[in-house]
């Protein structure tokens, strides 16, 4: 039975494993921060549930208040675990942190699947139990990625007869590559779920493993992913990460809604981390000031006429780094500088450090996670490289455009949906793009972008100003989510 009148705000519980500014390892953290805020502005009531990791900075922990605690059974043999609820409010959004020392007292959110499976089985079940405990009945439970994949399954099974069981569920795929797989016995033990769910339509994979994401996708009322193109791609062999047949089977409930960015957090007009803030009106004068400050900070030759390429990324093969590696020396010339900010796979970290030593004053490999430097690169670089092998949505190209930095991207997933290809004949477009996953195509594309920058600055400047004016906010997509919530709530 529908609980709400049409005029009542829709109540949505977000359940996910990370959320800026408490914990962020990638785009999921940005979305968990920005989308609830955008929904709030559209008269939606939002609560965000996430684990209370030990690594959450003290200043946020100090703002939390204890909302209660209880014991919850979890495993096949009925072991009981403590569930604490710590709560904080920030700008109208309520955050409930699920506390349990045994699972969350050891550093980073993700430490390896063997430990992560129990951690997120506990989290998924505890989040639903917490909603019941708080007597907050959502219309929709919006789950994010495999870490919350069990939520739709618990909702329709163990929690079906409880108050929260009336809610509808949405599972959003932010990255299909990560799925939460383990042996059937490990999964059965930790989920405590009945045997009948361990079949090939729900948990089991062709390799006779159990897959949390697969089960969640089967049980969710709706499945969304973060761009229309990725929603299509994941139904194919190449992008489907071995779940393509499963997704194709469930295609009637699958759709894509493109991510936005928080335009208050990412605002070159007010950004305190920049040497010179700027808008569309003075970007052409102020961007070079930021570029010189960045060159100075990173030990590059201070020269505003250089073509500066930025790369801000997790260092993993997903991000097309093999293509960059294949063309790096051919891409470099005296007019070019490259700034890399990222951490990840040691082989890429080593490769970029190597290029830094080969091209002193021209290449900087900053192998760290550094929010403030990220802002300065978005403001100072001329172009941002995102030649991904696959990219569900991608946020860096959106942030880049907002800062008047021209994206150089491969046409895949959200990159294809958000960056219109530059057309030399008409001058239209937002960036430089290529289709096949090919190093030569990337090289041609980088060279074309550099040629426009160095030899046709008027055309370049028009792209810069156009990109800054492009709407990359959440407003439109938040409205699409709201429509989906309303349709489900009815």
Answer for which of 73, 371, 475, 490 binds ligand ADP (CB under 6 A) is 371
DSSP letters along 210-242, please?
EEHHHHHHHH-SEEEES-HHHHHHTTSTTTSTT
Report if residue 191 touches ligand ADP, rule: CB under 6 A.
no
The 3-state secondary structure of 149-167, one letter per residue: CHHHHHHHCCCCCCHHHHC
Our finding on whether 374 is near ligand ADP (CB under 6 A) is yes
One of 304, 314, 470, 479 touching ligand ADP (CB under 6 A)? 314
Largest CA distance in the chain: 70
**Binding segment for ligand ADP among 25-33, 164-172, 194-202, 324-332 (CB under 6 A)?**
25-33
Q: Which stretch binds ligand ADP (CB under 6 A): 129-137, 217-225, 250-258, 390-398?
A: 390-398
How far apart are alpha carbons 293 and 251 in whole angstroms?
Answer: 49
Q: How far is the CB of 327 from ligand ADP (least distance, A)?
A: 21
> In this chain, which of 45, 396, 412, 477 binds ligand ADP, going by CB under 6 A?
396
Cα dihedral 277/281/286/291 (nearest 10): 90
Alpha carbon distances (Å) from 151 to 109, 370, 465:
18, 32, 44
Nearer to ligand ADP, 73 or 371 (CB): 371
Q: How far is the CB of 61 from ligand ADP (least distance, A)?
A: 22
Q: Does the footprint of ligand ADP cover residue 30 (CB under 6 A)?
A: yes
- Separation CA 79–CA 389 (nearest Å): 43
CB of 127 to ligand ADP, least distance (A): 22
Nearer to ligand ADP, 27 or 138 (CB): 27
d(CA 444, CA 17): 39
| Residue entry with tokens 């808008």 | 279
Can you tell me which of 70, 359, 369, 437 binds ligand ADP, judged by CB under 6 A? 369
> Is the CB of 241 or the CB of 370 nearer to ligand ADP?
370
Strands 222-225 and 254-256: what pairing?
parallel
Q: Taking CB positions, which residue lies at the least distance from ligand ADP?
A: 27
Distance (Å, whole) CA 87 – CA 237: 42
State how far the Cα of 251 lies from the Cα of 223, in Å rounded to an integer. Answer: 9
Identify which range of 73-81, 88-96, 311-319, 423-431 contacts ligand ADP by CB under 6 A: 311-319
Cα dihedral angle (90, 92, 98, 104), rounded to 10 degrees? -30
Residue in 341, 364, 472, 488 binding ligand ADP, rule: CB under 6 A: 341
Applying CB under 6 A, among 84, 118, 180, 342 the residue interacting with ligand ADP is 342
Sites of contact with ligand ADP (CB under 6 A): 26-27, 30, 312-314, 341-343, 369-371, 374, 393-396, 399
């Amino acid at each position: 039975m529908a609980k709400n009148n049409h005029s009542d705000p829709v109540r949505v519980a977000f359940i996910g494993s990370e959320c800026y500014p408490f914990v962020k390892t990638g785009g999921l953290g940005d979305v968990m921060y920005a989308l609830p805020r955008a929904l709030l502005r559209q008269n939606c009531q939002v609560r965000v549930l996430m684990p209370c990791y030990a690594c959450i900075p003290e200043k946020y922990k100090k703002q939390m208040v204890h909302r209660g605690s209880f014991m919850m059974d979890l495993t096949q043999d009925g072991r009981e675990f403590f569930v604490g609820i710590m709560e904080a409010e920030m700008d109208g959004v309520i955050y409930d942190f699920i506390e349990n020392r045994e699972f969350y007292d050891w550093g980073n959110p993700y430490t390896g699947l063997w430990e992560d499976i129990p951690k997120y089985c506990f989290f998924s079940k505890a989040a639903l139990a917490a909603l019941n405990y708080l007597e907050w009945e959502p219309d929709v439970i919006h789950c994010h990625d495999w870490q919350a994949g069990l939520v739709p399954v618990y909702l329709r099974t163990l929690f079906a007869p409880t108050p929260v069981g009336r809610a509808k569920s949405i599972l959003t795929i932010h990255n299909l590559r990560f799925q939460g797989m383990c042996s059937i016995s490990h999964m059965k033990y930790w989920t405590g779920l009945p045997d009948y769910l361990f079949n090939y339509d729900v948990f089991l994979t062709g390799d006779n493993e159990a897959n949390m994401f697969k089960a969640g996708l089967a049980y969710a009322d709706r499945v969304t992913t973060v761009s229309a193109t990725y929603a299509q791609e994941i139904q194919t062999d190449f992008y489907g990460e071995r779940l393509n047949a499963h997704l194709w089977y469930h295609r009637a409930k699958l759709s894509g809604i493109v991510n936005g960015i928080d335009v208050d957090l990412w605002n070159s007009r007010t950004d305190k981390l920049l040497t010179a803030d700027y808008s569309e009106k003075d970007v052409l004068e102020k961007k070079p000031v930021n570029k010189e400050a960045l060159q100075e900070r990173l030990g590059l030759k201070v020269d505003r006429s250089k073509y500066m390429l930025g790369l801000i990324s997790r260092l993993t093969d997903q991000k097309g780094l093999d293509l960059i590696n294949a063309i790096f020396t051919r891409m470099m010339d005296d007019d070019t500088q490259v700034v890399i900010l990222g951490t990840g796979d040691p082989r890429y970290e080593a490769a970029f450090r190597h290029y830094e030593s080969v091209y002193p004053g021209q290449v900087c490999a900053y192998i760290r996670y550094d929010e403030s430097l990220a802002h300065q690169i978005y403001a100072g670089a001329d172009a941002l490289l995102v030649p991904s092998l696959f990219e569900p949505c991608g946020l860096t190209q959106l942030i880049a455009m907002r800062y008047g930095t021209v994206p150089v991207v491969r046409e895949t997933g959200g990159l294809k949906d958000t960056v219109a290809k530059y057309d030399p004949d008409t001058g239209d477009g937002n960036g430089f793009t290529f289709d096949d996953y090919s190093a030569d195509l990337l090289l041609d594309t980088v060279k074309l972008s550099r040629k426009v920058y160095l030899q046709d600055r008027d055309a370049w400047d028009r792209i810069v100003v156009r990109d800054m004016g492009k709407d990359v906010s959440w407003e439109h997509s938040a409205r699409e989510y709201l429509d989906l919530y309303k349709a489900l709530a009815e």
